[in-house]
Structure 1
Amino acid sequence: MARRTTNAAGSTNELRGDVLRVLGVLKVATADQIQRLASPHLSYRHSLKASPAKQKEARTASHRGAANDLCRHGLTVDGGRTRGGEEVRLLTAAGLAAAAIDLDREPEEMGGMPKSAGRSGAAHPMTVNETVIALIRPKPDLDLLDGEPPEALAAARAAADAPDGLGTLTSYATEVALPVKGTWKNPALGSARADIWTAEQRKAFGNDLKDPQLLIASESSNSSKSDSGPADWKPTNHAFWCTYGKDYTHIKSVFKLTTTDDEKTALTSMIDTCTN
């Protein structure tokens, strides 16, 4: 009874850890995305439910419950809904700190948290998340699927036998193109001139999920980038220079931010790699 009082949804430490780790990396996610990354075997259960919607509801129930329990502890919040109507989950500041422990990362490596993702339908973060899932290709544990229908087992075996993906969840981090520290704490680095922004402008920038601010980075690249702008850091993958340079320039334009001479030189060199 005490366990139910503390965690009304009856979630386990493992399930709550799943939610913390996935949100610590992705920043914004649905219960479906959390489940597919953390417990891929559940994607092959409940296959006899009447409809795909009923199947999704059943296979995500445990992680939805875990997110709800974390919400009661002040670690997650409801971030609105996707354009498809799915609830979006976010971590609070306390949740971000807890996720850092689970991911074995320093707090300053965790970045910030977007708010009110559902206001814009969270289209860009959802695309980022699906890209991460496609890169990782989470594989189901077949031992956890004993007794499932033959069709479900066959699909699970095909997924388990498929080529390995790239890394695991902890291999990745999501990062903003414009460095947050350079924006707020040291305007000279990011040239966002936060000192002359109104509170409304800062809020708009921090909550912007429409423009290409959120990027996928390997954990090691994210750490090497830290809060640096393009004058001091460029993606190690030269094929990404064009996209990174254009996205960075676009965000500067949208929010009418100044650009230093060093930034202009660096951005020009990256955009010059674009083929069209």
Structure 2
Amino acid sequence: MTDRAGSVTKPRAKAGQKEARRPRATVRDQADVLGVLGVLKVATATQIMRLVRPHLSDNKAIRNALLVLQADKLVVAAGSTAGPAGKFGAPDRRGEPSQKLWGLTPAGLESAAEKLGRDPELMGGRARGAGAGGAPHAMAVNHTIVAFTCGGTLPGSPAGIGSIDCWRTEVPHPLTSSGKRNVRSDAVFQDKAAGVPLLMVEVDRATESVHVLADKVGAYADFYARRVRDPALPPSSGRGRIGHVDTVPFWETLYRCAGAPAHRRTGAPA
């Protein structure tokens, strides 16, 4: 509502009712939530908690941060893991209960890029509409990233490696110079400190045929076999040939920090 001067005023609570309080959340919690959603694009509060607050058993702090960010128009409720009623039906009463899905707004994506220290072109899209159907594939990818990062839950299970900052999701890798053909990785992990300079992850939910999977493996082979002229060399009128001393594997130009041997980066013979 507005007053006589036209200023926006806060609506008053009705008699006998208490005013709704704005949820409280620390700046750190809000920043960490934005960072996780900047990578996963769509996630539940519990998944976010496991990645940035694994010592907690209740996701209330994360939910409060999400509500504050929602009020600031940085995140948006994006459906639930049960999917729309009538399409996926009620969640299995014996399984995990349905959980709300959260995603980023355009402003939230910009804030997440700033938090992660990434260029906007590396952030990808917002996975808009992914939560409308329960986002089963995104949830499977998220669970995979959580497992890598947090490790096993049973006694004696290996510890996790890396952090959410080491991941990117839905990363396209062009197979040709035109970019019309590409192989899209479900996730890419890089953590040289953990001894993993580059790992491309595919999550299979048994929803694709063997032929489709075989084609994707072949596409990865084509991607790793592709060579281009070393962009670190000065401009030249000549064009490097496959296997020529002036060419390097194309994937190394995309992942310069992957820790590839120096002789391969410069194109010198092994």
| TM-score, normalization by structure 1 | 0.54
| CA distance in 2: counterparts of 1:29 and 1:128, whole angstroms | 10
* Structure with greater Cα Rg: 2
Aligned residues: 178
After superposition, the Cα gap between the structure-2 partners of 1:41 and 1:117, relative to the gap in structure 1 and judged at 3 Å, is: same
After superposition, the Cα gap between the structure-2 partners of 1:97 and 1:138, relative to the gap in structure 1 and judged at 3 Å, is: farther
Stretches of structure 1 that go unaligned for 5 or more consecutive residues are 44-58, 140-154, 193-211, 222-235, 251-265, 272-276
Aligned-pair identity in percent equals 34
| CA distance in 1: counterparts of 2:157 and 2:169, whole angstroms | 26
Shift of 1:247: 5.7
**CA-to-partner distance for each residue in 1:108-128, whole Å, 9 max, x for gaps?**
111111112232211000000
The one of 123, 131, 141 aligned to 2:136: 123
| CA distance in 1: counterparts of 2:139 and 2:200, whole angstroms | 25
Question: Which has a greater percent of helix?
Answer: 1
1:67 aligned residue: 66
Q: Is the 8 A contact 2:43 2:103 kept in 1?
A: yes
**CA-to-partner distance for each residue in 1:123-176, whole Å, 9 max, x for gaps?**
00000000001111169xxxxxxxxxxxxxxx9xx87x8533221111111124
1:190 aligned residue: 180
Secondary structure class of the residue paired with 2:56: helix
Q: Is the 8 A contact 1:74 1:94 kept in 2?
A: yes
Q: Is the 8 A contact 2:185 2:201 kept in 1?
A: no
Question: Which has a greater percent of strand?
Answer: 2
Q: Does 1:267 align with 2:233?
A: no
1:163 aligned residue: 158
**CA-to-partner distance for each residue in 1:216-245, whole Å, 9 max, x for gaps?**
102589xxxxxxxxxxxxxx76997xx9x9
Ranked by relative contact order (alpha carbons within 8 Å, sequence separation 6 or more), the top structure is 1
| CA distance in 2: counterparts of 1:214 and 1:28, whole angstroms | 17
Correspondence list, 1:12-51, <5 A: 12-43=26-57
Could you say what the CA RMSD is over the residues aligned between the two structures, in angstroms?
4.0
Secondary structure class of the residue paired with 1:165: coil
Output the amino acid matched with 2:168.
A
| CA distance in 1: counterparts of 2:36 and 2:167, whole angstroms | 10
Q: Does 1:82 align with 2:100?
A: no
Stretches of structure 2 that go unaligned for 5 or more consecutive residues are 1-18, 83-90, 92-97, 193-197, 203-207, 224-270
